[in-house]
């Protein structure tokens, strides 16, 4: 097992690796030029500087800086990634969440495309409602032509995102929402059925109360033409709902967002309706509005009681909440917004999104099973406390600095003067939870034990520190047993461990979908905005299981739902329409032999130069007559010896595998992320080793068009992401918090 060596700040080695790879400032050659300590000092100093504008002395500003620094370095609280990356740096864009309007004109549509590109370049993610676009086949007034509909325009946004994200430190991500009464709703539900489309979008259906009532009554409902505001037809609500359920069961999308419920808690209804959310669905926003997020680490909010048992440290939680509200409010002032309209709207409402992470860790420390009534009750108490103290902290800031400018047009007018229109949001914490060394958001543990790929291809067994301590006490901390646990990540079927321990150390797939929803609803009850959470299903789950969860979420007061059936996206990719059907009789496994195909006399391909720590590596990839990858040759420049011979051996083995019809993506998954002692950099990013270089060359070859150099038959360069492996290190991608995260390297699908 790997023993976690602590850094000066108490960061785990993996946290330091993620910080180095994704957050620390770099010089022109790509080398980090700051330490984690310097990063947190940079952020604390920049955010605290906002206090000076409100009459605080330089000494008081310095004291605030110290408070913010301690709060982050103790890992009690962390702001969203753009704040960590950009605070105190020239870019200065600190928000993660944006919503842009898309109006029913060519000018509005392409303004939104341009604005989204600017936001993605700055490190933010964007949400759009396409409900206002006229349906497919409708008349275009200016030309008397025919509209192509909202889905066709979504591909323009998707292509722009793909172009921008290639050079960014964070991947661009979008949310696309279409209201359930739009005439193109059936096409929208299935618009991500093909893996070659809209891969930079999460999509959700905007559900109304009328629609849900029609589902329950098995009735029809009206479709509304947004251009005319008139009824454009009717659909059976149950058939539409079943289509949504079936598609979500198939590949996890679309999600659903309860728009009427979101607007029922809109703090500024006089300013208009909320039509969209950020990419993960937890932050509803007005057009041209942004929000900055941060999370309290609940694993650090536990203390020992007088009798030695663990208990919630309510005093520390209160202090951290007040400090976090102060921090996030300051972010609004020092933020450099990518657009003037966003600057104005954001400062008019001053929304912040304070959430949590480490919830599963807190429950483990307290000895409470995640799926118990006690956990649900405590979840409500924790979030109610944070919401109450957060509003009190916002009210105190309002006394000093004034309420948000749109206060008189808000639901708070005449009741409670607050600085911020919203206070709480529960967002996916992805890489933040890796830095903090805790569980993500309000999710259960993703694994009790798992395998991490490290340098030179070595695989180390990572064990949850709380579980490691318990296993050691029981005399069960053996490498053999931990390797067995790592196969599934769960101890639920290991009788060696006592039942109470198995109950406490539950993972996401040990918990029923119903219990996932109960937990989401418990936190939603006291969250101003929304809760980002993934409801995990076993691969064997049925469409009825998904339907039950959707209905339960609706009845329990959730504002949206994201589901993921284990392996569903992998099945979709591996079962392509191009897959050949064999009519040969079945052969027993013992009698089957794999015979590599013979090399034809003529073959075509391309050679790619990759910079490695051992020198220039020339990688030639050839195709057979059908355009399938067939063989790989390597040449280590002028170098020879061990590196050259190993690269040649890898190439021969890859060629053998390709000629035996092994999927190239599977080869990429095995080789990508293997490190050596001397990594290097090139234009496309870091090259960890010769093995990593070969994997990346194959992956690049699989891309068609200008981004690739082969005929690999894939128009998208992120196939690995969609079949459950990290596109950067080959590690396992976990679906949690409405997003996808690699716990090995910190890669996340969501901006």
Instruction: For residue range 144-158, list pLDDT tens digits in order.
Output: 678 899 999 999 999
Pair 79, 429: CB distance under 8 Å: no
When pLDDT is cut at 50, 70 and 90, the band that residue 570 belongs to is: low
pTM of this structure: 0.82
Structure tokens at 76: 């009690």
Pair 79, 69: CB distance under 8 Å: no
Catalytic residue among 97, 191, 280, 676: 280
- Please indicate whether residue 679 or residue 652 has the higher confidence score (pLDDT): 652
At residue 637, the pLDDT reads 67
Average pLDDT over residues 415-443: 95
Residue 578: pLDDT over 80: no
Active site residue 216: no
* Percent of the chain's residues with pLDDT above 70: 87
Cite the DSSP H helix spans in 489-640.
Answer: 499-504, 513-524, 543-555, 568-574
Nearest to 300 by CA among 328, 327, 319: 319
Distances, alpha carbon 460 to alpha carbons 4, 192, 551, 679, in Å = 11, 36, 42, 20
Active site residue 711: no
Catalytic residue among 278, 330, 349, 420: 278
Pair 19, 435: CB distance under 8 Å: yes
Pair 225, 232: CB distance under 8 Å: yes
Pair 353, 427: CB distance under 8 Å: yes
CATH T-level fold of 97-277: Anaerobic Ribonucleotide-triphosphate Reductase Large Chain (3.20.70)
pLDDT digits over 435-482, tens only?
999 999 999 998 999 877 654 455 678 899 999 999 999 999 998 899
Average pLDDT over residues 669-681: 75
Per the listing, tokens 């990290």 go with: 726
Cite the DSSP H helix spans in 489-537.
Answer: 499-504, 513-524
Query: Any idea where the domains of the chain sit in the sequence?
Result: 13-93+290-436, 97-277, 447-506, 604-722
CA distance 421 to 529: 10
When pLDDT is cut at 50, 70 and 90, the band that residue 8 belongs to is: low
Stated length of the chain? 751
Query: Strands (DSSP E) along 289-334, which ranges?
Result: 289-297, 302-304, 310-312
Pair 689, 676: CB distance under 8 Å: yes
Average pLDDT over residues 100-123: 95
Residue 499: pLDDT over 90: yes
At residue 390, the pLDDT reads 98
Residue 401: pLDDT over 90: yes
Average pLDDT over residues 532-536: 92
When pLDDT is cut at 50, 70 and 90, the band that residue 724 belongs to is: low
- Please indicate whether residue 192 or residue 168 has the higher confidence score (pLDDT): 192
Report the phi/psi class of residue 281: left, alpha or beta, with left for phi > 0 and alpha for psi in -120 to 50: left
Chain centroid to CA 76: how far? 21
Q: Which residues of 251-276 are buried (b: 16+ CB within 10 A; e: fewer)?
A: bbbbbbbbbebbeebbbbeebeebbb
Catalytic residue among 282, 443, 462, 734: 282
Q: Are strands 604-612 and 615-623 parallel, antiparallel or unpaired?
A: antiparallel
At residue 630, the pLDDT reads 87
- Please indicate whether residue 339 or residue 685 has the higher confidence score (pLDDT): 339
Distances, alpha carbon 546 to alpha carbons 180, 251, 281, 695, in Å = 18, 12, 18, 37
When pLDDT is cut at 50, 70 and 90, the band that residue 640 belongs to is: low
Q: Are strands 97-100 and 289-297 parallel, antiparallel or unpaired?
A: antiparallel
Phi, psi dihedral angles at 414 (to 5 degrees): 80, -5
Residue 573: pLDDT over 50: no
Please determine, looking at this structure, whether the domain spanning 13-93+290-436 carries the CATH number 3.20.70.20: yes
CA distance 38 to 14: 18
Pair 431, 445: CB distance under 8 Å: no
SS3 per residue for 47-89: HHHHHHHHCCCHHHHHHHHHHHHHHHHCCCEEECHHHHHHCCC
Omega of the bond leading into 254 within 30 degrees of 0 (cis): yes
At residue 297, the pLDDT reads 98
pLDDT digits over 309-325, tens only?
999 999 999 999 999 99
What is the dihedral sign for C-alpha 26, 31, 33, 37? positive
pLDDT digits over 216-270, tens only?
999 999 999 999 999 999 999 999 999 999 999 998 999 999 999 999 999 999 9
CA distance 698 to 46: 43
Instruction: Tell me the CB-side half-sphere exposure of residue 120, using CA atoms within 13 A.
Output: 29
Contacts of 287 (CB under 8 A, 6+ apart): 99, 100, 101, 272, 275, 345
Mapped onto helix, strand or coil, the DSSP state of residue 311 is strand
Phi, psi dihedral angles at 364 (to 5 degrees): -65, -45
Residue 23: pLDDT over 50: yes
Structure tokens at 465: 């520190």
CA distance 741 to 464: 17
Query: Could you check whether 13-93+290-436 and 97-277 share the same CATH topology?
Result: yes
Average pLDDT over residues 363-374: 98
What is the dihedral sign for C-alpha 644, 706, 700, 603? negative
Average pLDDT over residues 45-64: 98
Active site residue 734: no
């Amino acid at each position: 097992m790997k023993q976690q060596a602590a850094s000066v700040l108490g960061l785990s080695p993996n946290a330091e690796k993620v910080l180095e790879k994704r957050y620390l400032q770099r010089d022109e050659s790509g080398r980090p030029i700051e330490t984690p300590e310097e990063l947190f000092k940079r952020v604390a100093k920049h955010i605290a500087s906002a206090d000076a504008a409100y009459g605080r002395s330089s000494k008081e500003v310095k004291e605030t800086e110290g408070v913010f620094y301690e709060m982050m370095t103790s890992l009690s609280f962390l702001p969203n990634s753009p704040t960590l990356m950009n605070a105190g740096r020239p870019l200065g864009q600190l928000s993660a969440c944006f919503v842009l309007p898309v109006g029913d004109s060519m000018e509005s549509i392409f303004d939104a495309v341009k604005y989204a590109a600017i936001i993605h370049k700055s490190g933010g993610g964007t949400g759009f409602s396409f409900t206002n676009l006229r349906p497919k086949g409708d008349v275009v007034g200016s030309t008397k032509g025919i509209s192509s509909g909202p889905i066709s325009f979504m591909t323009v946004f998707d292509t722009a995102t793909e172009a921008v994200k290639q050079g960014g430190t964070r991947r661009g991500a979008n949310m696309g929402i279409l209201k359930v009464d739009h005439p193109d709703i059936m096409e929208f539900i299935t618009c991500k059925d093909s893996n070659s489309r809209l891969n930079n979008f999460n999509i959700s259906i905007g559900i109304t109360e009328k629609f849900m009532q029609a589902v329950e009554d098995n009735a029809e409902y009206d479709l509304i033409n947004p251009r005319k505001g008139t009824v454009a037809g009717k659909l059976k609500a149950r058939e539409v709902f079943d289509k949504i359920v079936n598609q979500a069961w198939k590949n996890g999308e679309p999600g659903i967002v309860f728009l009427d419920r979101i607007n029922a808690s809109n703090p500024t209804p006089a300013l208009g309706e909320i039509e969209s959310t950020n990419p993960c669905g937890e932050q509803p926003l007005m057009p041209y509005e942004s929000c900055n997020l941060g999370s309290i680490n609940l694993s650090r909010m536990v203390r020992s009681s007088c009798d030695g048992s663990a208990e919630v440290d309510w005093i520390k939680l209160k202090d951290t909440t007040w400090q976090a509200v102060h921090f996030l409010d300051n972010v609004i002032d020092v933020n450099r917004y990518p657009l003037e309209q966003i600057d104005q709207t954001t400062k008019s409402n001053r929304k912040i999104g304070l959430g949590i992470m480490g919830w599963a860790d807190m429950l483990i420390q307290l000895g409470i099973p995640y799926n118990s009534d006690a956990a649900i009750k405590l979840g409500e108490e924790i979030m109610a406390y944070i919401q109450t103290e957060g509003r009190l902290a916002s009210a105190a800031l309002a006394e000093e600095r004034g309420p948000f400018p749109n206060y008189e047009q808000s639901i708070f007018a005449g009741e409670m003067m607050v600085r911020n229109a919203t206070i709480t949001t529960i967002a996916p914490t992805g890489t933040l939870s890796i830095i903090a060394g805790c569980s993500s958001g309000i999710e259960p543990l993703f694994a009790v034990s798992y395998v991490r790929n490290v340098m030179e291809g070595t695989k180390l067994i990572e064990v949850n520190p709380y579980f490691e301590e318990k296993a050691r006490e029981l005399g069960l901390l053996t490498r053999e047993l931990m390797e067995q646990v790592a196969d599934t990540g769960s101890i639920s079927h290991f009788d060696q461990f006592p039942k109470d321990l198995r109950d406490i150390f539950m993972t996401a797939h040990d918990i029923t979908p119903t219990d996932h929803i109960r937990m989401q609803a418990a936190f939603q009850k006291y969250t101003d905005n929304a809760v980002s959470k993934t409801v995990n299903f076993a691969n064997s789950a049925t469409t009825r299981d998904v339907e039950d969860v959707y209905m339960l979420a609706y009845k329990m007061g959730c504002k949206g739902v994201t589901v993921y059936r284990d392996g569903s996206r992998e099945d979709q990719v591996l079962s392509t329409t191009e897959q050949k059907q064999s009519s040969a009789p079945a052969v027993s496994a013992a009698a089957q032999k794999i015979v590599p195909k013979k090399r034809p006399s003529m073959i075509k391909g391309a050679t790619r130069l990759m910079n490695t720590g051992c020198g220039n590596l020339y990688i030639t990839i050839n195709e057979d007559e059908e355009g399938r990858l067939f063989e790989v040759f390597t040449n280590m420049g002028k170098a020879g010896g061990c590196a050259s011979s190993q690269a040649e051996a890898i190439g021969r083995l890859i060629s053998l595998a390709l000629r035996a019809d092994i999927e190239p993506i599977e080869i990429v998954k095995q080789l990508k992320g293997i490190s050596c002692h001397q990594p290097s950099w090139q234009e496309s990013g870091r090259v960890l080793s010769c093995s990593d270089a070969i994997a990346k060359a194959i992956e690049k070859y699989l891309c068609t068009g200008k981004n690739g150099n082969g005929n690999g038959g894939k128009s998208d360069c992120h196939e690995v992401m969609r079949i459950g492996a990290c596109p950067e290190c080959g590690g396992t991608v976990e679906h949690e918090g409405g997003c996808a995260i690699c716990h090995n390297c910190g890669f996340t699908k969501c901006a």
